[in-house]
Amino acid sequence: MNQPGKAHRVMARWALIAALFTVVVVMLGAWTRLVDAGLGCPDWPGCYGFLTVPQSEASIAEANARFPESPVDVSKGWPEMIHRYAAGSLGLIVFGIAIYAVRHRREGVPVRLPLFTAGFIVLQALFGMWTVTLQLWPKVVALHLLGGFTTLSLLTLLTLRLRASRKPVPPERESALARLRPWLYGGLALVILQIALGAWTAANYAAVACPDLPTCQGQWWPEDMDFRHGFDILQTIGPNYLGGQLTADGRVAIHMTHRVGAMVVLGYFAVLLLALWRQVRQTPLRSMVLLTAGVLLMQIGLGIANVAFHIPLSVAVAHNAMGAGLLLTVIHMLWRVHGYARQPVAEPAGTTTNQREVPA
């Protein structure tokens, strides 16, 4: 395989920077939401018509005159604006990568993925605007949260394409990995679904609906859960959703569904990772299996700590970050397995493992 050229190396460096910075943006978004600062600035993209949060008495008076229904709260405005500054900086980096890819397309760098990511950033910015203008409408908030995870996934895939190399595994393992690959895709789908449930839980302020473990309000399966209202994705546009508008029974239904989803993910991956371990424990893939198992256990532990300690800010932000980590470890493992797990073909006599082409 040819060594990557300068354009590949430059793009790889910036793709990695963008991916890491996306993690920071996701965590800042979680922090903003958890301190109830999602409407810290009632307009977009500025804050009360200013580029920064109003600070002086004169600017605060002017801001309050512009938005009499949303008086300035500096402690809420700054988390919102810091998140916006960070998201805007990420957008500039992604657009820079896309422009660089187009300019150096003749050098073999990927172009479609950077352009798609840049386009998705525009959509994500629109969701950020609608989050404010629609006053934290849960459907938009949840989609905005999922958009952050999607952006992170796209930049991770770009980084993997530009930087990572796949090390070959013994030929006798290839067919076994090919059989397990669909189950890995199933695991990825479950993780995405669980992240979506987490986003819906956060958007509807349902994390505090069950303050005890392993029961919920003293019951193993609360009788009054309201799934119809809890999962009503067509909630009315117009009310201020800060703090949530759902009934307590609707929030309990969301919370319990998220708990059940966590147990399903844990059970599914316990079986899948054990099956993978049996096939790859003597191969380079063993580190990815161990990493995925470790991240999954940490995420479950953080979820339990959220309930046990009543949603402390640091734990809740870490829970969001670890959710992103779990998604990325599964994507990384799938990317590596996808390159190996092809039905083996007959090879000429005398061909060694090192001579076999590893898919890019």
Q: What is the DSSP string of 48-108?
A: TTBSS---SHHHHHHHHHH-TTS---HHHHHHHHHHHHHHHHHHHHHHHHHHHHHHTGGGT
Number of other residues whose CB lies within 10 A of the CB of residue 39: 19
Q: How far apart are CA 60 and CA 175, in angstroms?
A: 67
Strand partners, 47: 50
Residue 164 DSSP label: -
Q: Would you state the pLDDT for residue 22?
A: 97
Cut 0.75: pTM above it:
yes
Q: Would you state the pLDDT for residue 349?
A: 43
Q: Would you state the pLDDT for residue 273?
A: 96
Residue 336 in this model has a pLDDT that exceeds 90: no
Low-confidence winner among 90-99, 116-125, 351-360 (lowest mean pLDDT):
351-360
Q: Scanning the structure block, which residue is given the tokens 């050098």?
A: 107
CA distances from 282 to 72, 149, 173, 293, 352 (A): 60, 32, 10, 17, 18
Q: What is the mean pLDDT of the chain?
A: 90
Catalytic residue among 57, 62, 69, 80: 80
Catalytic residue list contains 107: no
Quick one: what percent of the chain has pLDDT higher than 70? Answer: 90
**CB-count exposure of residue 346 (10 Å: 0-12, 13-18, 19+):** exposed
Residue 4 amino acid letter:
P
